[in-house]
Amino acid sequence: MSSNQNFLQSLYDAFNNREIETIISAMSPDVKWANGLEGGFVHGRDAVREYWTEQFKNIQPELEALKFETDENGRDILTVHQIVKDLEGNVLADATLHQIFTIEDGLISLYEIDETETIQERIQKAKTSSEH
């Protein structure tokens, strides 16, 4: 496992344990972070902290890294299994997606999601299909 793989795996573990500050400290101060819930990006450590704090009040996402790759631009591409549950533990969405990290000087400067559907859209689609 490469140093970036070890680094990112430790951050996935921290995310699943809701250790927000551990992950924030691994980001550059002006990080650009994909908003997987609603789309778009949040900018800077404080915005990421606020984004996650609000997210965790309503849902409990869990991530499992399945595959690590590096693209031609040196970005780390992770295939991840994401399960999103409500606060009672009911599964709202279950998907496999690609998360893309740009790491500069040992810190995450950019986080992207290679998916067009947001978490909210996946939850809505799951609700709709279960109603039929």
CATH number of the domain to which 15 belongs: 3.10.450.50
Which domain covers residue 14, as residue numbers? 3-131
pTM for the model stands at 0.87
**Cβ contact 73:54 at 8 Å:** no
Confidence grade of residue 43 (pLDDT, cut at 50, 70, 90): very high
Residue 125 has a pLDDT of 74
The per-residue pLDDT for range 89-132, each reduced to its tens digit, is: 999 989 899 999 999 999 999 999 987 677 777 778 777 776 66
Distance CA 95, CA 87 (A): 18
> Looking at residue 123, what is its pLDDT?
73
- pLDDT above 90 as % of the chain: 77
Instruction: Judge contact between 107 and 84, C-beta under 8 A.
Output: no
Task: Domain count for the chain, please give it.
Answer: 1
